[in-house]
Structure 1
């Protein structure tokens, strides 16, 4: 497969790990919160990395960026997380140039998700790009690539049924509750943590369980109140967590903490309690399993539950892949154009210099010489010549590298090092 050299000295890499080879514990060691992502972007800028995007979800942590060697990106990630380079290498993947581009398309369109068709990842890519832009780490290549992936994701959503049914961890958790708990509308449900997964779980619970006995607790009470107000639910203080767990039949934990927030000591199970841990790293200690009345389910187990629409969704994968190929082809065409843009610009500069020298010479030599008309005609000719060269370079039958070299040699061009 052809390599797309994106810059003279650096290649484009995707380095990361996902649910495919790394379990929740390992993924937890490498998960990044927003301050950690910002820190990585700042450090990358200091060491001269041009363009970097970081995403971290419950299923994966990835860096997409330009480097002379992928180890530069791996080191940035390991320095900022609790995992070591050795642990990372055991479960990691590294993609380069064209393969890295293809990987981002696959991830961003839900084809690589733990639950096929989970489109929540696209908002992580948007968020990652926003942070990269904030730190001046989003170069034109990354901007164009992210927009192309977003476009492919939108088209797949609109033109296929890849995202029908249970496509997210939040939905899968609610489906698990509905399938495994009888008389759900009369059970006490406690939701601890109101991040994105917590919010989505809450929304799905309200919609599908017909239950008004839902209590929210969050470290920051205002966040919980925002969501509770929307669905007319109860909010309790973080200090009431232990009391509320004792009242609950179902506990859903979806906090963004780096260490477990719910342990055996917090739970006093006089009646059966179902605990769903939707956090990476895990936020419920394994010692909770020792309690007789408690069932603990982690999101990795939930994601293995295939609902009846999964087989149906698989039918749309070829159509989704065809959409990706079309959007990716347009992106790669743009990339090829970027490749020869410096030569075309240098050629234009050279022809303009020739034009200026010639018009100066003719102005002195010919009396009444019409400089304005000469400028108009010369500019049109230069435009036509450069367009002719650009069309030649775009042609599939042409070896672009040889042609670029020849144009530079013939016109003795000096390229600006941008």
Structure 2
């Protein structure tokens, strides 16, 4: 079988729809859950595809594979989605060859994420690939492709600041507090048990374990339930006003239309930290004027995120340079891979000639003689290096034969 480097490269395709092309409603028409993913993979196997995988998140649905055209992948995907192939073609985008490859490198690195540097996408990619591998739909070329992709992503994460810092308001609040709280035990209160407040509570317990956490909510049952779940203290809402002065750290995250934390709730002079993550504000603006209180609102906390995003954008050129490095290594490997049939044939011939020297073989390409094994491996490696840098296949094969056959390890002793 003749392997053509350009043909292999140009058959790598992606059909995709993401947050840049479509809103949540349209993206939802092409969302793929685990069961649907398995159905698509089974259909791909039946249709004769050799390598296909689908990654579907809240921000994107993308199907990668080796095909004649990306529309083949779109047609495969939309056999199982609510949205039609026509709608996918209208809202989505399609890449092939080097463009598709570069897109995958950028996705894995977090460069294409809605929040730049988001590393969660790599885990989602690996899950998608694991499903495809289980369906026997990750062929040898795709497997090596992904190896280079994840190596690039790993180096970007290790050597750049692309994924550094916090990118959620709830965690940014924790980051702000980490710079200011004392290492000894302090009483902390979180007001609000919605999704946002719950995340704050969990992050407080994880990152600031010295805080003695208490939870309060307008609906007492919700705060009591969360407090029990997290093994935290519970404060009934009707005791809030009388209890606020006892806390060192207060974080608010409720939908209250008016401030519920007021200046008269505090005695001046005590050092305390207050974070108001609510819109409209839960903490009266005059609370910040009380002696001993340091306060931050949602805009000030969000500024931390803006600084993080700005730092991440400054790292993009470094990340792109790393991607270019690994793309080049991949294409060099692909250039060598096209010689695989010839290399296998040479290996078989060399092994056969080694048998004629009297070496006992344990397999097609190994012998009972470690010296001959090492020679066989070295000869094939040298051939691969020569084929990688020069195109005179016949000359290199002849040289490999001569190198191998003239080695003393293959000389036959007179009987």
TM-score, scaled to structure 2 = 0.61
Supply the distance in 1 between the matched residues of 2:190 and 2:101 (Cα, whole angstroms). Answer: 49
- Equivalent position of 2:65 in the other structure: 65
Supply the distance in 2 between the matched residues of 1:108 and 1:13 (Cα, whole angstroms). Answer: 16
SS of match in other structure, 1:125 = helix
Instruction: Structure 1: state its 5+ residue gaps.
Output: 193-197, 216-224, 235-247, 252-270, 274-292, 294-302, 360-369, 412-418
2:347 is the alignment partner of 1:348 = yes
Are the aligned partners of 2:30 and 2:81 in contact in 1 as well (CA < 8 Å)? yes
SS of match in other structure, 1:330 = helix
- Equivalent position of 2:320 in the other structure: 321
Supply the distance in 2 between the matched residues of 1:350 and 1:113 (Cα, whole angstroms). Answer: 50
Are the aligned partners of 1:59 and 1:114 in contact in 2 as well (CA < 8 Å)? yes
Following superposition, the deviation at residue 148 of structure 1 comes to 2.5
Supply the distance in 1 between the matched residues of 2:312 and 2:127 (Cα, whole angstroms). Answer: 27
2:384 is the alignment partner of 1:390 = yes
- Equivalent position of 1:285 in the other structure: none
Following superposition, the deviation at residue 29 of structure 1 comes to 0.8
Shift in CA distance, 202/20, structure 1 to aligned 2, threshold 3 Å: farther
- Equivalent position of 2:296 in the other structure: none
SS of match in other structure, 2:111 = coil
Following superposition, the deviation at residue 342 of structure 1 comes to 1.4
Are the aligned partners of 2:11 and 2:96 in contact in 1 as well (CA < 8 Å)? yes
Are the aligned partners of 2:190 and 2:201 in contact in 1 as well (CA < 8 Å)? no
Instruction: Structure 2: state its 5+ residue gaps.
Output: 177-187, 219-224, 235-251, 259-279, 281-301, 361-366, 402-415
Following superposition, the deviation at residue 386 of structure 1 comes to 4.8
Supply the distance in 2 between the matched residues of 1:23 and 1:386 (Cα, whole angstroms). Answer: 53
Shift in CA distance, 187/336, structure 1 to aligned 2, threshold 3 Å: same
Following superposition, the deviation at residue 79 of structure 1 comes to 1.2
Following superposition, the deviation at residue 231 of structure 1 comes to 6.8
Following superposition, the deviation at residue 7 of structure 1 comes to 4.3
Supply the distance in 1 between the matched residues of 2:395 and 2:71 (Cα, whole angstroms). Answer: 32
Shift in CA distance, 250/14, structure 1 to aligned 2, threshold 3 Å: farther
Are the aligned partners of 1:6 and 1:339 in contact in 2 as well (CA < 8 Å)? no
Bigger Rg, structure 1 or 2 = 2
TM-score, scaled to structure 1 = 0.60
RMSD: 4.5
Shift in CA distance, 352/153, structure 1 to aligned 2, threshold 3 Å: closer
Shift in CA distance, 199/311, structure 1 to aligned 2, threshold 3 Å: same
Following superposition, the deviation at residue 135 of structure 1 comes to 0.9
SS of match in other structure, 1:58 = coil
User: 1:19-418 alignment to 2 at 5 Å?
Assistant: 19-167=19-167, 171-172=168-169, 187-191=191-195, 203-204=202-203, 212-213=215-216, 229=229, 272=257, 307-350=306-349, 359=356, 371-372=358-359, 386-395=380-389, 398-399=390-391, 403=393
SS of match in other structure, 2:307 = coil
- Equivalent position of 2:245 in the other structure: none
SS of match in other structure, 2:340 = helix
Please, which moves more after superposition, 14-23 or 325-334? 325-334
Please, which moves more after superposition, 384-393 or 119-128? 384-393
Supply the distance in 2 between the matched residues of 1:173 and 1:31 (Cα, whole angstroms). Answer: 27
Supply the distance in 2 between the matched residues of 1:214 and 1:331 (Cα, whole angstroms). Answer: 55
- Equivalent position of 2:405 in the other structure: none
- Equivalent position of 1:220 in the other structure: none
Are the aligned partners of 2:383 and 2:396 in contact in 1 as well (CA < 8 Å)? no
Shift in CA distance, 28/115, structure 1 to aligned 2, threshold 3 Å: same
Supply the distance in 2 between the matched residues of 1:162 and 1:227 (Cα, whole angstroms). Answer: 36
Are the aligned partners of 2:214 and 2:232 in contact in 1 as well (CA < 8 Å)? no
Shift in CA distance, 389/165, structure 1 to aligned 2, threshold 3 Å: closer
Shift in CA distance, 228/110, structure 1 to aligned 2, threshold 3 Å: farther
Supply the distance in 2 between the matched residues of 1:14 and 1:75 (Cα, whole angstroms). Answer: 12
Supply the distance in 1 between the matched residues of 2:375 and 2:227 (Cα, whole angstroms). Answer: 64
